[in-house]
């Protein structure tokens, strides 16, 4: 090395291209540009197409086909994209990748949702929205909306569905113009922008654009009126994400990996813990769960969960193994240590017959006064060939945990003797101030529980 450095005849322009290009390939695009001003030799090499092809693929996910269609070099193509999307450099690749994965999945599983996606918004349109609401939109949100401006107001919604008897939720990803129309300035929800909306429940997920009223900047959440607070505008929050990028990419990951099942051409937001599977003889039982924020509250504590159970008999089982479900037994353990046991005939009023290869699925629901709990139990079956042969099939333990929640900064009253489930004279809930909480509709929990969702099914 010293000998080479001492050789005055060794100059940059005499070094071979291949090792220099190899070194340059490890540089960021900024460092590459800086190197171009070091010497004429590096200036000649820095526009080398493979260097900018790598950077264009890394930052903008551009393909050879897109480069050929553009008719320009990789360097110029990178430059064009940077002029347009440079402010989103750290967000564009993960968001674009998520959008492409989601669209590829929907094309195969839920094709009608593809038609509901809107073209991306322009920088000017996003700037106009910021001026309209008087708040800055986070760059990751803007970046995603440059790719797709949400979806049309149709059903089913892109952000997931849930269906239980006469209760249905399907959340649309709002376009930025519609979201701006729902921007909140009222006390308890100041500076909050809706991300989603459900036509059936009025439910929305919101993003906090400013750190106001106990919220953290840019976190997403489901709002929930605090029925026991002294201030009628007090809002509890079921938190769903720390920023738009995390919120959206985590959801897409759950969709494209099959974590959320596709049921009737819709994305259902059941979560399946891979350990929640148990096999007894020829029958396997697996469980997935979901928390329903629209039917839950923090004050008073009322946490609503639904669970979906799949019962499957092995296709290799003998026909003599065919059987019928007679009853179920549940052991429910709450986070405060309280244990409850429930048993009854059938499952949701049915007595399924299991034969080799047969699959039976059903959904049920339950409510708790603690934010986490777990259930386990067994089904009782009898053989069709011999009704005297009765046996138990294990139901694996499954946990139900509500999302993290934050209470409002205002003080909470002591609980009154009147329960949330007590309707007023008109049959609706009385929340103490008559406020219908904006777009959220009042839900008569007593009627729901009595009519279609017993304590534990």
DSSP element (H, E) containing 177: helix 176-181
For residue 449, report the phi and psi dihedrals to the nearest 5 degrees: -65, -40
pLDDT tens sequence across 291-333: 999 999 999 999 999 999 999 999 999 999 999 999 999 999 9
> Would you say 67 and 77 are in contact if contact means Cβ atoms under 8 Å apart?
yes
Taking CA 268 as the corner, what is the angle to CA 265 and CA 271, rounded to the nearest 5 degrees?
145
118 phi and psi angles, rounded to 5 deg: -100, 150
Q: Is 191 within 8 Å of 210 (Cβ atoms)? A: yes
Dig out the tokens for 198 from the structure.
């459900």
pLDDT at 176: 98
Tell me what pLDDT residue 34 has.
83
* pTM of the predicted structure, to 2 decimals: 0.82
Strands 372-383 and 323-334: antiparallel
The third-level CATH classification (topology) of the domain covering 270-419+439-451 is Immunoglobulin-like (2.60.40)
Every domain of the chain and the residues it spans = 270-419+439-451
* 211 contacts: CB under 8 Å, gap ≥ 6: 217
Q: How far does CA 457 lie from the centroid of its chain?
A: 26
Q: pLDDT value at position 283? A: 98
As a whole number, the mean pLDDT across the chain is: 86
The pLDDT tens digits for 93-129 are 999 999 999 999 999 999 999 999 999 999 999 999 9
The pLDDT value recorded for residue 410 is 60
377 token code pair: 């139990």
What pLDDT is recorded for position 106?
A: 95
As averages over each run of 10 residues, the pLDDT of the chain (457 residues) reads 46 75 83 81 82 93 94 94 96 98 95 94 98 97 98 93 91 98 95 96 96 93 92 93 97 95 93 92 96 95 95 96 97 92 94 97 93 95 96 96 85 44 31 31 28 36
Distance between CA atoms of residues 168 and 225, nearest Å: 20
């Amino acid at each position: 090395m010293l000998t080479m450095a001492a050789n005055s005849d060794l100059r940059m322009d005499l070094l071979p291209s291949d090792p220099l290009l190899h070194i340059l390939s490890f540089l960021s695009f900024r460092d590459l540009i800086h190197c171009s001003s070091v010497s004429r030799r590096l200036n000649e090499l820095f526009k080398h197409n493979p260097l900018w092809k790598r950077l264009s693929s890394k930052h903008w996910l551009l393909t050879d086909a897109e480069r050929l269609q553009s008719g320009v070099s990789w360097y110029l193509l990178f430059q064009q994209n940077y002029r347009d999307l440079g402010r989103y450099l750290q967000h564009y690749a993960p968001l674009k990748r998520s959008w492409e994965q989601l669209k590829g999945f929907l094309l195969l599983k839920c094709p009608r949702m593809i038609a509901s996606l809107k073209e991306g918004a322009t920088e000017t349109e996003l700037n106009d929205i910021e001026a309209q609401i008087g708040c800055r939109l986070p760059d990751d949100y803007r970046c995603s909306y440059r790719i797709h401006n949400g979806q049309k107001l149709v059903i089913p919604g892109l952000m997931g569905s849930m269906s239980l008897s006469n209760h249905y939720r399907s959340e649309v990803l709002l376009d930025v113009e519609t979201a701006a129309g729902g921007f909140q300035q009222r006390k308890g929800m100041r500076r909050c922008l809706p991300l989603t909306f459900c036509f059936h429940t009025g439910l929305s997920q919101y993003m906090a654009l400013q750190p106001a009223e106990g919220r953290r900047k840019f976190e997403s959440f489901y709002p929930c009126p605090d029925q026991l607070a002294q201030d009628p505008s007090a809002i509890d929050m079921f938190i769903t994400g720390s920023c738009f990028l995390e919120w959206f990419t985590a959801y897409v990951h759950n969709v494209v990996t099959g974590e959320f099942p596709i049921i009737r051409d819709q994305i259902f937001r059941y979560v399946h813990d891979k350990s929640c599977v148990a096999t007894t003889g020829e029958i396997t039982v697996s469980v997935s769960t979901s928390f329903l924020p629209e039917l839950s509250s923090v004050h008073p504590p009322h946490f609503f969960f639904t669970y979906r159970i799949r019962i499957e008999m092995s296709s290799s089982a003998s026909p003599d193994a065919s059987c019928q479900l007679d009853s179920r037994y549940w052991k429910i353990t709450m986070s405060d240590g309280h244990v409850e046991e429930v048993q009854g005939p059938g499952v949701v009023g049915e007595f399924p017959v299991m034969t080799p290869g047969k699959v039976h699925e059903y959904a049920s629901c339950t409510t708790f006064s603690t934010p986490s709990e777990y259930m386990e139990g067994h089904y009782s079956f009898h053989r069709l060939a011999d009704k005297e042969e009765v046996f138990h099939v294990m139901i694996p333990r499954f946990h139900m945990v509500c999302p993290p929640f934050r209470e409002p900064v205002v003080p909470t009253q002591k609980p009154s003797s009147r329960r949330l489930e007590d309707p007023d004279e008109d049959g609706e809930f009385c929340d103490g101030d008559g406020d219908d909480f904006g777009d959220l509709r009042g839900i008569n929990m007593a009627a729901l529980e009595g009519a279609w969702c017993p304590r534990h099914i």
